[in-house]
Structure 1
Amino acid sequence: MTLDASVYCDCYEKGRLRTTPPFSELVVISADGVPEIETGDPEKDAAYDEWKNHARPCDHEDFTLLHHFLGNISRVGRIRSLIGDVAQAAHRNYPMLLERVVYNGVHCGDRIETHELFDLVDEVNDLSVRKLDAYTDEHKEILRSFIHQMSELAAAALAVNKPIVF
C-alpha cells in the first residue's frame, strides 16, 4: 500500500506525437489530463490501447510527465506527523498538504486541480523555510525529500496546466 503522485504530459494537446492514434476524433483529455478513448466498442478501445502501450506515441511512458513515489503507508504517516508538528510549532495550517496530499497513505483517484496549485506551492514553500533543528537527521531527510517531490510535481503541473493526480 503506497501513495504515488503523477502529472501527465501535454504532448497530445501540443501535437508532439510520433504517430496519430487510431480513432483520433474520439480521443478526449480526461480530468486527470490523460488522452483517453471510450467508445463502447471493444475493438476500437483495444486498438487505441495497443497504440498507447506499444507505439510509444511520445517521449513519456503512458503520457506520464512526472511520477513520484511519496511513500508507503508508514512513511506517509510519518510525513503527516512531521508536517503536523511543524504546523503546530509555526502556528500555521497546511490544509493542502495535510488534507489533500498526506491525509492517508493509500488514497487514489484524487487530484489537486490546476487552480489549487498556487495554494499548494505556498504551503510547500512555507514548509521549506521552516527550521527543523528539533528533528533527527532521518526526519529532516524525510521532510526535505517530500518537499522536493511536491515542488517538482507542482512545477510540472503548472508547466503543462494539468492537475497532480494520486
Structure 2
Amino acid sequence: MSRVAKLPITLPKGVEVKTQNGQIEAKGPKGTLTITQPEGVALTVENGIAQFASNDSSKVALTGTIRAIVANMVTGVSEGFTRKLELVGVGYRAAMQGKDLSLSLGFSHPVLFVTPEGITIATPTQTEIVVTGTDKQRVGEVAAKIRGYRPPEPYKGKGVKYSDETIIRKEAKKA
C-alpha cells in the first residue's frame, strides 16, 4: 500500500470528518469542504484520527492522493491557507475596490480582478497582496491567476511574484 495512505490524519479540536452519500466532508471553524469519495477507497474515523484503506489493489495510488487532499481539507477548515504576492516595479500598485482587486501593472489600463467565492484578498500595502481561503487548490489558483497578469521578467525583475519566489536574473545583451 502507498506510504502516504498509511499515515493517519490527526483531527484538531472542532474539526470533524465524515462520509455520506459518496462524499467526504470536513467541517471546522472556518467552514466546510467536500469532495467525492472514489470507489475502492475506504475512510474510517475513530478517536479523532482518520485512516484510509484501499479495497482494490489498483486504487492504491488514488488512496494516497485522497488522503493528501483530505489532510489539506482538515488544515483548511481549521487554520486556512495563505499565499502572499509582491509587486516589483515602478508604478506597480494593488488596491481593493470593494471586493475586487485593482492592479496597475504598467498597462495602459488598470486590471480588475473579481474575487471568487470563498477567497479573501487583502492589500496591506500598495505592493503586497495576500490571498486567503480554506481550499488550498483555489488559493493557489487565484494567486497564480493574479501572478499571470504580469509574471516577473528575468532582466529587471519587474512583475508580480510570490513572496518566497526568487527570480533568476539574466545578464543584458552585450554589444
Q: Normalising by the residue count of structure 2, what TM-score does the alignment of the two structures yield?
A: 0.30
Q: Normalising by the residue count of structure 1, what TM-score does the alignment of the two structures yield?
A: 0.31
Query: Which one scores higher on RCO, CA 8 angstroms, separation ≥ 6?
Result: 1
Instruction: Give 1 or 2 for the bigger CA radius of gyration.
Output: 2
Bigger helix share: 1
